[in-house]
């Protein structure tokens, strides 16, 4: 017997799950473990990355 694969179009809620909060500015920031500390203009900064959309920002300590 063969396996039947569903070829239905995904719902809009399934397609955009987790992205609506980030589009409205509500990111889920976590510390980026790969580059925990970075120097920028002689100051120590921490790199933060959003766990939903992988946007990044830096924060001075």
Predicted confidence pLDDT, tens digits, the chain (61 residues):
778 887 888 888 777 776 778 888 899 999 988 776 667 677 788 889 998 888 999 888 7
User: Model's pTM, two decimal places?
Assistant: 0.60
Sign, Cα dihedral of 36, 38, 43, 46: negative
Beta bridge partners of 24: none
Q: Of 53, 29, 57, which is closest to residue 45 (Cα–Cα)?
A: 57
Phi, psi values for residue 22, rounded to 5°: -70, -35
């Amino acid at each position: 017997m063969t396996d039947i694969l569903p070829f239905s179009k995904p719902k809009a809620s399934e397609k955009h799950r987790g992205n609506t909060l980030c589009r409205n500015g509500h990111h889920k920031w976590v510390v980026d473990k790969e580059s925990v500390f970075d120097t920028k203009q002689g100051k120590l900064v921490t790199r933060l990355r959003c766990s939903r959309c992988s946007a990044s920002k830096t924060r001075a300590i």
